[in-house]
Amino acid sequence: MRQDKNVGKPLDRVDGRLKVTGGAKYFADNHMEDLQHACLVCSTIASGRIKSIDTKAALHAPGVLDVVSHLNTAPAPGYKQPDGKARRQLRIFADDRIYANGQPVAIVVANTMERAVYAASLVKIQYEQEVHHTDMRANDKAAYQTDRMKDYVRGTTDAWKTAPVQLEASYSTPIEVHNPMELAGIIAKWDGPDNLTIWSKTQGVKNSQVALREIFQIPDQNIVVHSPFVGGGFGMALRIWPHEIATIIAAKKVGKPVKLVISRDQMFTMVGHRPAADQKIGIGATQDGQLVGITHEAIASTSTYEDFTEAITSMSRFMYACPNVNTRYKIVPINVCTPIWMRGPGEATGAFALESAIDELSYKLGMDPLALRVKNYAATDPEKNLPFSSNYLREAYEMGAAKIGWNNRPANPRALKEGDWFVGYGVSTGVFGAHRGKASAGAIFKSDGSLVVQSATTDIGPGTATAMVQIAADATGISPNHIQFQLGESTFPDAPEQGGSATVSTVGSAVHDVCQELKTKLLELATTHIPDFKNSTPENSTFENGYLVTAGDAGKMEISLSDILQKSNTPVLQVTTTSKAGDERKKYSMYSFSVHFAKVHVHASTGIVRIKHVVSVADSGTIVNSKTAASQMIGGVVGGIGMALTEEAVLDHRYGRYANNNFGDYHVPVHADTPPTDILFINKKDPVINPMGSKGMGEIALIGFAAAVSNAVYNATGKRVRDLPITPDKLI
């Protein structure tokens, strides 16, 4: 068997050249004839209804084609159908209701961008204002559960209260906004009444297609979605949002293609966010550190019109070998846009609480927090009662501890100082489900020896095409230089959205399988059309370096794959395969794991926190590309630094309006906030999950990281910050 040659290598990104030359075309970079520009008008109240919209001045402004609102357009056909649901997506232009400040209520179309923006400022709206609630904590009596979020009990409820050593603590995390660098938006173009083409910021071209099919009641094949480059997503582009529907409706009304790019402040109010959460953990252990019970309760915000749930309490159920665990999770409606999964989603929120609580407990026990984690290591999944498909957490703890110099950590807080700075070390664990969905891939092999593989996935930044080329190269024996992977088109074979750390697992499996299918077909062509190879079989043949090699009676014979096509009069060989998981999930529990170590400095008098060094270890199975995988981990750490130290969307509850809706006031980490970061990989194949043995990585890169920082801050200062972000005011 030939050794894998490409998987694991630090191959440069296949789209790197396009990205460094400005050649990569994101949705807003597309120009076309007669393209019109749009600007949204957004509500300035947080709850109520629209009384009137005066568009006279706007319509009179130069270059304006139309101002579209619920007053002059019929609701999208799919919005007219009664669906019997009390809570559902915001149906833009369907009625006069206002659910949140900054909700889009009208769209202005003009022949230049400047004119659209100016005319939007002339639209005058009268509202009938109603009482709004944007303070989750003040509104927590309204908390409720949906069918998807049942209470969980293993063993005895609240058993931690019977333990010799106990801790109960509350933690809070604010609303965070994804804020990818690329602004959201869309170009919408109708060809006739039933054919729609969009160029859009989306993490799922098929998702968008299905959503548009439902909303506009036109068949899939009439909807084309382009999203070949996506300027970051972090979850915000996992669904269709009202601004897209508004633009599509406007494009139909004006009969011309229309482009909308929303503004940075609108990124806060109409494309989701990480919900705010309040959590309470009760945890108890024996004197020697054996966990007795964990209780984890959480409330988190949603919108007033739609339920949004995520897995905030899930980690507490299986992370540690603890006999008694109970969790409860509720959501609280407030007058903001519906949240959407943000990198690491609910698991990142939950991990901050659980991994902080474990750290707090370790000090009560007088135990090293790393030793406490190892002592309670769950060798099998205590929630599902199944073995893990792979779990190298203990190795990850060891590797990371050695790299960060964990033995330099003082056992007691406030014990180590360098000049004016207290020094501390923290550790935490991250975990996220390793998934594999269903996907299709197409392979097009041409007689010039080039292979194109296609799938309707997207790439929001991890380097999907590069990884897929590596997988295809090893599966076919064709050089990566002769392979192209194409994505981001709804016309390609079906694939799910890029989310939930599942793309390599899901789409990579389809790529692997379609390459196997391609080899089968090539072998068939060879045996049928080329006499020397009539006895070739999968058993006596291999595919290497672009050749079919058969060990025959007369020794080794080889023929280039392009010759097989030429000699069989086949200009192009095309195959498509659908690939999905088997029943492995019934036999195994599958997770990716991460361990984060942080060394911090905290200024003794100003409370400023500087992260000096980070070590993150990933147990995510086979690493397909060691370079891009490390980048993805570093990126998660940077996101985690934001969660830990800087990011908080502040609502002014008087108006229900964000007070810091820009990059000057909502602080995402910049170059100077980020430390040298060492990424270590376990890089051991998961034997079960998929042919590559790769588990996911995007989420675990961030999950748990904030707790590593807060634990390090406690180690440095003796101050436990339970409310993120850890700003200096909380430390002085």
Interactions with other proteins, residue window 26-85 (CB under 8 A): 26, 28-29, 31, 37, 44-45, 51, 57, 61-63
What's the min distance (Å) between Cβ of 231 and other proteins? 3
Strands (E), 228-290: 258-261, 277-285
- Pick from 8, 75, 232, 387: which binds other proteins (CB under 8 A)? 232
Distance from C-alpha of 526 to C-alpha of 528, rounded to nearest angstrom? 5
Nearer to other proteins, 57 or 378 (CB): 57
Q: Pick the binder of other proteins from 333, 369, 500, 639 (CB under 8 A).
A: 639
Tell me how far, at minimum, the Cβ of 88 lies from other proteins, in Å. Answer: 27
Q: Which of 59, 71, 94, 113 binds other proteins (CB under 8 A)?
A: 113
Rule CB under 8 A: choose which of 79, 171, 199, 234 binds other proteins: 234
Distance CA 260, CA 58 (A): 17
**Residue 15 found at the interface with other proteins (CB under 8 A):** yes
List the catalytic residues: 699
Short-list 9, 116, 85, 1, CA closest to 479: 9
Q: Reduced to 3 DSSP states, what percent helix, strand and coil does the chain have, rounded to the nearest 5?
A: 30, 30, 45
Rg value, the chain, Cα = 27
Cα four-point dihedral sign 103, 246, 105, 99: negative
Site for other proteins in 374-413 (CB under 8 A): none
String marking each residue 424-463 x if it binds other proteins according to CB under 8 A = ------------------------------------xxxx
Nearer to other proteins, 385 or 662 (CB): 662
d(CA 265, CA 286): 50
**Is the CB of 29 or the CB of 151 nearer to other proteins?**
29
**Structural element, H or E, at residue 189:** strand 185-190
Please check whether residue 111 is in contact with residue 28, taking contact to mean a CB–CB distance below 8 angstroms: no
Nearer to other proteins, 10 or 405 (CB): 10
What's the N-to-C CA distance of the chain in angstroms? 63
From candidates 477, 636, 693, 696, binder to other proteins by CB under 8 A: 636
Does residue number 312 form part of the binding site for other proteins (CB under 8 A)? no
Q: How far is CA 622 from CA 50, 153, 331, 446, in A?
A: 55, 34, 37, 30
The Cα–Cα gap between 102 and 306 comes to 17
Give the nearer residue to other proteins in terms of CB position, either 309 or 594. Answer: 594
Which residue type occupies 714?
Y
Give the number of other Cβ atoms within 10 Å of residue 3's Cβ: 5
**x/- site string to other proteins, residues 181 to 200, per CB under 8 A?**
xxx-----------------
Shortest Cβ 429–other proteins spacing (Å) = 20
Q: Phi, psi at residue 611, to the nearest 5°?
A: -85, 120
| Region from 17-25, 514-522, 571-579, 685-693 binding other proteins, contact rule CB under 8 A | 17-25
Question: Which lies closer to other proteins via its Cβ, residue 117 or residue 378?
Answer: 117
Stretch that binds other proteins, among 7-15, 212-220, 291-299, 393-401 (CB under 8 A): 7-15
Residue 439 CB contacts under 8 Å (≥ 6 apart), including other chains: 455, 457, 493, 494, 495, 496, 506, 507, 509, 510, 578, 579, 580
Binding residues among 659-688 for other proteins as defined by CB under 8 A: 662-664, 668-672, 674, 676-677
- Whole-number minimum distance, CB 48 to other proteins, in Å? 9
Cβ atoms 418, 491 nearer than 8 A: no
What burial letters (b/e) apply to 686-711, b meaning 16+ CB within 10 Å?
bebbbbbbbbbbbbbbbbbbbbbbbb
CB of residue 641 to other proteins, shortest distance in Å: 8
Site for other proteins in 162-181 (CB under 8 A): 179-181
The stretch near other proteins (CB under 8 A) out of 146-154, 202-210, 537-545, 636-644 is: 636-644
Considering the complex, state which of residue 313 and residue 632 has its C-beta at the smaller distance from other proteins.
632
Interacting residue with other proteins among 172, 631, 683, 727 (CB under 8 A)? 631
Is the CB of 628 or the CB of 710 nearer to other proteins? 628
CB of 663 to other proteins, least distance (A): 4
Contact residues for 304 (Cβ-Cβ < 8 A; gap 6+): 47, 99, 100, 133, 333, 334, 335
What is the spatial distance between Cα 597 and Cα 427, in angstroms, rounded to a whole number?
Answer: 5
List the one residue out of 599, 164, 160, 161 whose CA is nearest residue 364: 164
Give the binding range for other proteins (CB under 8 A) out of 214-222, 332-340, 467-475, 658-666.
658-666
- Residue indicated by tokens 């926190």: 609
Binding mask 263-282 for other proteins (x = CB under 8 A): xx------------------
**Residue 20 or 138 with smaller CB distance to other proteins:** 20
Least distance CB 652 / other proteins (angstroms):
13
Instruction: Considering the complex, state which of residue 144 and residue 663 has its C-beta at the smaller distance from other proteins.
Output: 663
Of 277, 296, 278, the closest CA to residue 167 belongs to 296
Nearest to 683 by CA among 623, 625, 624: 623
* Minimum separation from the CB atom of position 175 to other proteins (A): 17
Our finding on whether 481 is near other proteins (CB under 8 A) is no
Q: Answer yes or no whether residue 528 interacts with other proteins by CB under 8 A.
A: no
Q: Is 634 in the site for other proteins (CB under 8 A)?
A: yes
Which H or E run includes 113? Answer: helix 113-120
By rule CB under 8 A, what count of residues binds other proteins? 77
- Cβ of residue 196: shortest distance to other proteins, in angstroms? 23
Nearest CA among 215, 239, 249, 235 for reference residue 104: 249
